[in-house]
Amino acid sequence: MKIAHISIYPEKDKKHSKGGGVASYTKNLITNIPYQKNDQVFILCNKIEGRYDKYEEDGITVVRCFDKSPKFIYQVLKEVKNIKPDTIHIQQELALYGNIITAYLLQWLILFLHRYNTIITLHGVISIKNIDQNFVKENNSSLPAWLVKLAFIVIYKPLCLFSKTIIVHEKVFKDILVKEYGINSYKINVIPHGIEDLKTIDKNRALDELDLPKKKDIVLFMGYLTGYKGLDLLIEGFSEYLKINKNAYLIIGAGKHPKLYADPKYLVEYNRIKDKAEQYIGLDNHRWEGFIEEQDIKYYYSASDISIYPYTNQLSSSGPMSLAIGFEKPFLASEVFDNFIENKDILFQKNPNSLKDSLIEFFKNKESFIKYIQKLKTERLWSTIGKGTYNYYKGFNL
């Protein structure tokens, strides 16, 4: 079988990337699929510094062939014509291939590939019902809500109609596609976001490596700063918890979003949140880290007691949450993850007092949280996800 993957992809010999979580997802997926001897695997991915490149890595042919601009369609089609794959697996996230224009153009790429067996993984599925003016504001836009709803329909519905089959990570996303976008359920398959089998190091060693204070109850947030990630809620809730536990310490690993880092309006918001953390929590009880580099991730999860995901909307599966599960580190999450997390003790309502109460409960009863995370990890290891995905390819090519 000849398989072509289309996605952004980390630099050579790296697993995580500043370009976004889909890059590391794709590498984890591709390197955990149990290919057979005669399979040929290609990854058609983004250029680095505008250079075309082709090389072998992990037994896979990596072709860095497209710019993150509207011309990516022509560049990808040219490579597909040369490869003539049996199956094409496309990763999709809003503006993954450049901006809102390329998000719209992706459907035309899929249409041009109609003669191939095309699979598309939608990393986020937005509920039309949940789009209001607050949603628009959280996502750094000033457009009217009705126009944003229309834009999502125009982008997502053709993607689903033109693809032979669709993968989503949670059943709730499948339900949204069926009920709100009118997509036939038989086209949609649920394959969860995979979990890396990761190992922590000794907490004191990690604290020393990061020059963090000892004997603190450390809470970690990691992820790109966007409106729906709930940084205001995190800061306000943690400041309430700090009134009860003066020993609490918050690490904010909030990187600048790769699609927005040069946007003046976004930078004003980024600095507002950063200043708010200093005002509400103080420098003695928090550190603003910004983007956490790949080589440092294990130190931050090892140093922390718990991580927290105060999202106001679940637009996609959370990469940092997957890392927490991989390290077998407990976490708390807002109620928007209700359809994914069975253990409701992990969830808090989207208000500061509920977040505070969940932190209190966790530090009273850590063991039960840890056992649940271990169960989640077993169910979603990348080796299991890779095997399931390959079986999907085989069934698709019968």
pLDDT at 253 over 70: yes
**How much is the CA Rg of the chain, to the nearest whole Å?**
21
pLDDT given for residue 131 in this prediction: 83
Q: What is the pLDDT of residues 81-117, one digit of tens each?
A: 999 999 999 999 888 898 889 999 999 999 999 889 9
pLDDT given for residue 396 in this prediction: 67
pLDDT at 39 over 70: yes
Share of the chain above pLDDT 90, in %: 59
Gap between the Cα atoms of 56 and 12, Å rounded: 9
pTM confidence score: 0.76
Would you list the domain boundaries of the chain? 2-194+381-396, 203-379
The conformation of residue 116, written as its DSSP 8-state character, comes to S
pLDDT at 398 over 60: no
- Domain 203-379 class in CATH: alpha beta
Fold of 2-194+381-396: Rossmann fold (3.40.50)
pLDDT given for residue 64 in this prediction: 97
Query: Contact at 8 Å (CB) between 237 and 333?
Result: no
| Interior angle at CA 18, CA 302 and CA 63, nearest 5 | 120
pLDDT given for residue 18 in this prediction: 65
Establish whether domains 2-194+381-396 and 203-379 are of one fold: yes
Mean pLDDT of 114-140: 84
pLDDT given for residue 80 in this prediction: 96
pLDDT given for residue 27 in this prediction: 93
Pairing of strands 87-92, 60-66: unpaired
- Class of residue 133 by CB neighbours under 10 A (exposed 0-12, middle 13-18, buried 19+): middle
pLDDT-derived band at 211, boundaries 50, 70, 90: very high
pLDDT-derived band at 132, boundaries 50, 70, 90: confident
* Range of lowest pLDDT (63-72, 267-276, 318-327, 348-357): 318-327
Q: What is the pLDDT of residues 162-190, one digit of tens each?
A: 999 999 988 889 999 999 999 999 999 99
Q: What is the pLDDT of residues 333-381, one digit of tens each?
A: 999 888 778 788 899 999 999 999 999 999 988 877 888 888 888 888 8
pLDDT given for residue 262 in this prediction: 78
> Does 253 or 374 have the greater pLDDT score?
253
Query: Contact at 8 Å (CB) between 112 and 77?
Result: yes
Average pLDDT of the residues of the chain: 89
Strands (E), the chain: 2-6, 40-46, 53-57, 60-66, 87-92, 117-122, 165-168, 188-190, 217-225, 248-256, 286-288, 306-309, 331-334, 347-348
pLDDT given for residue 219 in this prediction: 96
